[in-house]
Structure 1
Amino acid sequence: MITVLNLNPITKLTREKFVQLCQANPELQLERNPQRELIIMSPVVGESGQKEANLIVDISLWNRKTQLGIVFSSSTIFSLPGGGDRSPDVAWVSLEKWENLTQQERESFPPICPDFVIELRSKSDRLSPLQAKMREYLESGLLLGWLINPQQKQVEIYRQNQEVEIVTMPIILSGENILPGLNVMLDY
């Protein structure tokens, strides 16, 4: 479940204030959308956490073989160019993009958009906010993204300058030319 708080009547939630808020409340999973609203996400339940972990392992194993980039968990917040501060369930950044960041940027919320993300819809998530989040990633420079929707047994595939493609599970998804050689079986 996601709760969105509009704090604009009492304070302007800048990126700097958001970072301070996250540091003061490390037990909370927080995001900030481009409208500077605070997003509070509830903890992941067992089944969703297991699926998310498997996806991280799939991407990490592929990445260990190719050494083309860096894999991140859902605990990582990215400061997107469009103004939001988001934490995808799984993220991958090319090595070149990562190495262009300063050490200070790497040790904070990286000021980049991942090249690839996965968002996994849990039973308590509404679909439309996740779709908006995927569009936000695209507008920020995302190259490839998967929105996995186990409830409808579908995956929405997001690509730069293309319509969203919806496929039905079970399916083997490809990393295409963004994550070459990656194939992930989804059968939930």
Structure 2
Amino acid sequence: MFMTAVVVNLKPLLDLTDEAFYQLCRVNPEVKFERTARGELIIMPPTGGETGDRNRRITQRLGNWTDEGNTGLAFDSSTCFKLPNGADRSPDAAWVRLERWEALTLEQQQKFPPLAPDFVVELRSATDDLAPLQAKMQEYMENGVRLGWLINPQDLQVEIYRLGQPVEVLQDPQSLSGEDVLPGFVLDLTRILS
């Protein structure tokens, strides 16, 4: 059985402004919200322990690489980004080049950064339906994300999304390269994909 996110259409009753959405998230920290470009509110289900551990490994490895190179900032799944199309999305892991981050105001950095990350990861949990994750990855690409990985342990696959290129599907890869977006970053998929 798949647990899907709940999508709530608040229009025409309420137009949830950016500030109102931010405050909604702040006063309900135990609930993970996203928002579509059309203004629909998405209530995300929590993940289980296995997915939580896999996501921690991804975030930890990306964070360690980021700290060594000091070329950008790494973010976990709690970070919400305001995409250019107006959607508010929280990838499972993300990375933004330092110069793009520093171009934001302090207020923009403290709230939901108004930019598409350079790199995103979505990790499919056992309860996730694949199609909405693939649509989310396409939305990231349409908004300027340069590299994205959809890691699918259930099918032992990784879908690689590159800006302006067709999706590449890898069957049971042992590692992934950050390519020219994250030069030198290699994600060992041991204990993530298996």
- 2:106 is aligned to 103
**Gaps in structure 1 of 5+ consecutive residues:** none
**Gaps in structure 2 of 5+ consecutive residues:** none
Aligned residues: 188
CA distance in 1, matches of 2:116, 2:85: 9
- 1:27 is aligned to 30
Moved over 6 A (4+): none
- 2:40 is aligned to 37
Matched, 1:165 2:188: no
Aligned-pair distance for 1:86?
0.5
- 2:11 is aligned to 8
CA distance in 2, matches of 1:47, 1:140: 30
Selected match of 1:68 from 71, 77, 93 = 71
- 2:52 is aligned to 49
More divergent stretch after superposition (61-70 vs 109-118)? 61-70
Greater relative contact order (Cα 8 A, min sep 6): structure 1 or 2? 2
Aligned-pair distance for 1:114?
0.5
- Cα shift readout 1:141-166 (whole Å, capped 9, x = no counterpart): 10000001111111110001000000
CA distance in 1, matches of 2:28, 2:81: 17
**For 1:151, what is the secondary structure of its paired residue?**
helix
TM-score normalised by length of structure 1: 0.96
- Cα shift readout 1:107-132 (whole Å, capped 9, x = no counterpart): 11000111000000111111111111
- In the TM superposition, 1:147-158 aligns within 5 A as 147-158=150-161
Identical-residue share of aligned pairs (%) = 53
